Amino acid sequence: MSEKITLKINNIDVTVSAGATVLDAARKLKIKIPTLCNHPDICVAGNCRVCVVEQKDSGALPAACATPAAEGMEIHTNTRRVREARKAVISLLLSEHNNDCLRCYKNGNCELQELATEYTVEADRYISILKDYGVDKSSPSIQKDDSKCVRCQRCVRTCANLQDVSALWISGKGRKNKISTFMDKTIDYVVCTNCGQCVNRCPTGALTEKNYIEEVWGAIDDPSKHVVVQTAPAVRVALGEVLGCETGSRVTGKMVTVLKRLGFDRVFDTNFTADLTIIEEGHELLRRLSEKLRDGKDVPLPQFTSCSPGWIKYAEHVFPEILDYLSTCKSPQQMFGALAKTYYAEKAGIDPADMVVVSVMPCTAKKFEAARPEMNSSGFRDVDCVITTRELGHMIKQSGIDFNNLEESLCDSLLGAHTGAAVIFGATGGVMEAALRTAYEVVTGRAVPFENLNIIPVRGMNGVREASVKIEGCLSEWKFLEGAELKLAIAHGLVNARKLAKQVAEGRSPYHFIEIMACPGGCLGGGGQPIPTNMDIRMKRMDAIYSEDESLEFRKSHDNPEVIRIYEDFLKEPLGKRSHKLLHTRYTERGRYRTLNR
Amino acid sequence: MDSSTRERRIAEHKKRVNLIFKKCVWDDFLDRALEMSPEDMLEKVKESGLRGRGGAGFPTWLKWKFAREAEADEKYVICNADEGEPGTFKDRAILQEQAGKVLPGMLVCAKVIGAEKGFIYLRGEYAYLLPALSQEVENFNEKIREKGERFSIEIKLGSGAYVCGEETALIESLEGNRGEPRNKPPFPVSEGYLGKPTVVHNVETLVYASIIISEGPECFKSLGTSDSAGAKVFCISGDTDLDEGIYELEMGMTIKEFVELFSDGDIKAVQVGGASGHCVPRKKFADTIIGFEGVPTGGSMVLFNSSRSMYNVLHNYLEFFEEESCGQCTPCRIGCQQLLKGIEAVKSGEKPSEYLDDLVKLAGMMKISAKCGLGQSAANPFISIVEHFREEIMY
C-alpha cells in the first residue's frame, strides 16, 4: 500500500495516494479544474497556467496539474484571484491566437474555444499579437497552422515521449517561441512518421489532418467515376463517437448503410484484405522459418508486420538496417487498392481508369502511404483518397443523414466478406493473433490451442508484450517445426517499437515474429480517430473490437469465402506471381533528413 | 567631485568591506577545512546568517541541510556562473580574480551535502574566462585528489539564454536539454541534476561560504542587519562617473546613502536588482533599505539621472524580457509582449491611459501565476516604474 495523503480542496477533505497531484485530488472530488497543456497520456508540463489554484499561505497560484498533493494542504479552486488569473491567461492566449473560429476545422471541438466560452473572455481585452505564420500543407497527412498554436507542447511531448520521433520540437525563446521542426523545415522534409498522434492531442486547430473531404465528394458527384470505398476495422468501433453514440459502440452495419447512402458505388471492407494479408504474411513467415530452420539459410528473422504505415516510415528513417526484416506485404489498405483496380475491375467490367478508390482509415499515415510512388501496381494510383474516421464523421453530418436510426446492412461482395481475425487488426496484438490462428492451422491442421480461438496472452495494453506458442503435431511437410517454440513479441507506440527494433538491429532479438503498431493501442488509437483520446476511451474501443470478433461466423482468415475465391480465381497461390506484383512492396531508406539544400 | 576623489571616499566609507577581493594566501585553507566535520561546517554557515547572493536570498545552510538529508547515491553542487541579469557583472570579476575562493566553497558545500561532483555553469559570453578558469579548476582538482578527496569540478558553458540563470533551467541545460525551468516542487535539493539532490549556488554565495569556514562566521555575521547579514558585492552602473563599478559593501544601506556615495546627487531613480528588480524613485531613497527587508538585489544597481526617460528605461527592460522569456508558460511569454505593446499603445495614444491599469493587473497576475522566478519577477520593473513614473509612460 502506498502512502496516503489527506488534503482539503474547497474545505472538503480528500485522500489520495502519494504522488497524486492537486488536479488528481480535485478530480477525485469531481471538482473541475480547467486544463489545457495537461493530457493523461503524456508527462506533466505545467505550462499553460490555466489550472492555477489558490494554496493557503502561498502568495503565488500554483498550477494544479504540476503541484504534488501534500499532507494538510489547503487548496481553493474558485476564488476571485483564481478566476481572474485564469481569465487573464485565457485572454492572453486569445491575444496570440488566430481567432477565426468560424472557419476553423476544429470549430466545435477546440479546448481553447471551450475555455473562452466558460470564462466569458472578451477577445479584445489585450492587443492582438498574432503573427503571420504560413500554414504548412507540405505533408499529405498532417497540416500545421502555427497561428492557432497555444504552445502547450502536447504535440512535442507526444512526439518525443509516446513516439520517440521528436519531429516536432520547440524553437525560439520569448515572442519567437513556437513549435517547430528540424531547422524549421516543412513537415514533409523532416522525420515525421505521419502517425497523427500529435493531431489527436492538439487542443486547438494548430495540428489537423490534411482533409480530403471535398475530393471525395467530388468523386461521388462525378457520374463518370465508379467510386468504391473501404473501411478499416478500427473505424467501426470509433465512428459512433463523433455521431453521438457512446464510446465503444459498434456501428459496422450502420456505417455500411450510410456509405451507400452517401453515394459510394460499392461499399467494401478493408477487412477483406486484412484476411488476405494474414494469408500472405503468414505464408511469408512460414517461408522464412523453413528457409532458416529447414534449409539453414541466412534469412532475416524475426519478421516484422508491415500494416502500420507510421511504423514503416519510422523504420525507414531510424532503422534502415532492419528493412529486410519487415514483411514485404503491403498493408491491407494498399492490397485493397491494387485488387480493386485489377481483380474487381475485371470482374465488374469497369475500366480502372474510371475508378476511384476511397479508404476510410483511423490513421493519418495512410494518407502518406497511399501517395507513395510505388503504390501503383494496378497501373494507376491504387488508393486515390484516404479520409480519417473524423472526416467521414464530417461527411455524414454534412449529408444530414440520421445515422443513429439507420438500418444495418452488409458490405458488397467480392471484396467485402471478412472474418473476426480481420476485425482484430484494429487492436494492438490483433495481427499477431490473426496470424497465429491461420499459421498454426496451416502447419498442424488443427486450430490454435486457445479456448474459443482467443489468444489472450497477446492482447492487452502493455507497451511491449511477449508470448510463445509451442508447435506440436505438425503435418508432414512442416515436420521440421515439430516441437519448435515460436517466440512472439508485440509493441504499440513507437517508443515501444524502438525497443524491439533496436534488439533486431543489434542482432540480439530472441523472437520469430514481431507485431508493431505505431499508435498507442494499435489502430483503435490511431491518429485519425475521434478526439479526445485517452486510455479509457481506447480500452472501450478495444472491448468493442474483440466483441465484434466474437460475433462473427468466421474467425479465421483462411475461412473467408471471398479470400478462398480470390485465390481460386485470380491469385492462384499465396506468395505467387500475382501476389508478388500486387500485394507485396519494398521499402526505402530515408535517413534522418532529406537533403540540406532544399 | 572628480572621480578619483569619489573613489577615495568610497574606499574610506564605513560600509566598505574587503572580504572577497582581499589578497590573501589560502594555502592551509583546504587542510583546515578538511579537518572540520560536515556538521561543524553546516553549523558555521548557519551561524553566519548567509543567504543566497543571487537575489532570492534563500538561507544557505537550509539548502545544505535539505540536500544533506536527501537520500541518494549521488549528489551535486553547481556553481551558477550564468551571470545574465542586466547590470550584473560581479561574478565575472570574482571568477577572474578570486576563483581560488570559489572552488573551496564548492568543496565545502560538497562535503556537507555528500557530493562528489561539482559543476561550474559558466555564462556562454564569459567563454574568455575559460582558459584561466580551467587551469585553476584543474589545479584544484589535482590538489584535492592528492588529499584523498573524491570531489572534482567540471566547467560547462551555457549558450546565452538569460533564463538558464534560473536554477532548474540551468540544470536542464546542464543535462543537455533546452533550458526551460521545471516545475517546483520538487526542488533541486531533492531532485536536481539527473534527478539527484543538487545544490545550486551563486558564485558569490560560494565565496562567502569559503570565507565563513576559513575565518569563522563572526567576520560575516558582524556585518549587515539581522535580516541581511554580511556584505554583498554591488555592481554600480548608469549615471555614475566611476570607472569601475564593483564594490563590496555592508548590507543594509539605504538607497539615499548609496546614491550619495556613488553619484553627484542628481539621481531620480535606482533600478535595484537588474531588469527583474524594482525601480525605486527618489522620494523613497531615504527609507528604502538595500537588503532582504527592503529591496533585495543580486548586485545590480543602475542609477538614472533626471535626463533619463523612464519610458525608455521600461521599454528597454520589456524588450529584454519579451525576448528572454523562455516562452513555455503563458503569463510570461505573452504577458511580457503585452506589457511592451501596451506601453507603446498608451504612448502613441492608441490606447487610453487607463489601459495602464489593466496592464498593472496583468503584471500582478504574471507575478502570481508564472511558472518560474523569471516570469514572476519580469513584471517587477513594470509595476514599480508605472507606479512611480506614470506620467512619463503616458506622455
Domain ranges of chain A: 4-78, 105-209, 225-271+334-405, 276-331+417-583
Domain A105-209 of CATH type 3.30.70.20: yes
pLDDT of chain B, 395 residues: tens digit per residue? 677 888 888 888 889 999 999 887 677 788 888 899 999 999 999 999 999 999 889 999 999 999 999 999 999 999 999 999 999 999 999 999 999 999 999 999 999 999 999 999 999 999 999 999 999 999 999 999 999 999 999 999 999 899 999 999 999 999 999 999 999 999 999 999 999 999 999 999 999 999 999 999 999 999 999 999 999 999 999 999 887 799 999 999 999 999 999 998 899 999 999 999 999 999 999 999 999 999 999 999 999 999 999 999 999 999 999 999 999 999 999 999 999 999 999 999 999 999 999 999 999 999 999 999 999 999 999 999 999 999 999 98
Beta strands in A159-245 (DSSP E): 169-171, 178-180, 207-209, 226-231
Query: Which residue in A374, A477, A482, A485 is the catalytic one?
Result: A374
Q: What is the mean pLDDT of each run of 10 residues along chain A (598 residues)?
A: 90 97 98 97 96 95 97 97 97 96 96 96 90 94 97 97 95 95 92 97 98 98 98 98 97 98 98 97 96 93 97 96 97 98 97 98 98 96 98 98 97 95 97 96 94 95 96 93 95 98 97 98 98 97 98 96 96 96 96 57
Q: Is B190 on the interface with A (CB under 8 A)?
A: no
The alpha helices in A225-331, defined as continuous H runs, are 239-242, 252-262, 270-289, 309-318
pLDDT at A1: 52
pLDDT at B265: 86
Q: What Rg value do the Cα atoms of chain B yield, rounded?
A: 21
Is B329's CB within 8 Å of A49's CB? yes
Our answer to whether residue A209 is catalytic in this structure is no
pLDDT at B9: 85
Our answer to whether residue A433 is catalytic in this structure is no
Q: Which CATH superfamily is domain A276-331+417-583 in?
A: Fe-only Hydrogenase (Larger Subunit); Chain L, domain 3 (3.40.950.10)
pLDDT at A596: 43
Is A173's CB within 8 Å of B370's CB? no
Count the helix, strand and coil residues of chain A and give each as a percent rounded to the nearest 5. 45, 15, 45
Query: Which residue in A209, A241, A280, A281 is the catalytic one?
Result: A281
pLDDT at A598: 36
Distance from B219 to chain A by nearest Cα, in Å?
Answer: 35
C-alpha cell at A268: 467494401
Q: CA torsion angle for A55, A61, A67, A72 (degrees, to 10)?
A: -10
Our answer to whether residue A523 is catalytic in this structure is yes
Instruction: Nearest chain A residue to B356 by CA: give it.
Output: A126
Distance from A133 to chain B by nearest Cα, in Å?
Answer: 17
DSSP A176: G
Fold match between domain A4-78 and domain A276-331+417-583:
no
pLDDT at A478: 93
Is A126's CB within 8 Å of B345's CB? no
Of B325, B330, B370, the CB nearest to A174: B325
Picking from A47, A97, A153 by the largest number of B CB atoms within 10 A of its own CB, the best residue to mutate is A47
Is A48's CB within 8 Å of B368's CB? no
Cβ-Cβ pairs closer than 8 A, A with B, add up to 118
Answer for the pair A258, A246: CB distance below 8 angstroms, yes or no.
Answer: no
Query: Which residue in A96, A284, A433, A515 is the catalytic one?
Result: A284
| A4-78: CATH number | 3.10.20.740
Answer for the pair A306, A326: CB distance below 8 angstroms, yes or no.
Answer: yes
Is A127's CB within 8 Å of B342's CB? yes
| A225-271+334-405: CATH number | 3.40.50.1780
Chain B partners within 8 Å of A153 (Cβ): 328
Distance from B318 to chain A by nearest Cα, in Å?
Answer: 11
Q: Is B341 on the interface with A (CB under 8 A)?
A: yes
Answer for the pair A133, A184: CB distance below 8 angstroms, yes or no.
Answer: no
Is B331's CB within 8 Å of A60's CB? no
C-alpha atoms less than 13 angstroms from C-alpha of B248 in its C-beta half-sphere: 17
Our answer to whether residue A329 is catalytic in this structure is no
Phi and psi for A121 in degrees, rounded to 5?
Answer: -85, 135
Answer for the pair A151, A47: CB distance below 8 angstroms, yes or no.
Answer: yes
Chain A partners within 8 Å of B325 (Cβ): 173-175, 177
Q: Cell 552602473 sits at which residue?
A: B237
Answer for the pair A146, B327: CB distance below 8 angstroms, yes or no.
Answer: no
Phi and psi for A326 in degrees, rounded to 5?
Answer: -75, 140
- Which domains does chain B carry? 25-221 (3.40.50.11540), 231-305 (3.10.20.600), 310-394 (1.20.1440.230)
Picking from A92, A115, A146 by the largest number of B CB atoms within 10 A of its own CB, the best residue to mutate is A92
pLDDT at A597: 40
In this prediction the pTM is: 0.95
Chain A residue set in contact with B, beta carbons under 8 Å:
44-50, 52, 59-61, 63, 66-68, 81, 84-85, 88-89, 92-93, 95-96, 125-127, 129, 150-151, 153, 170, 172-177
Picking from A81, A127, A171, A204 by the largest number of B CB atoms within 10 A of its own CB, the best residue to mutate is A127
pLDDT at A436: 96
Q: Is B376 on the interface with A (CB under 8 A)?
A: yes
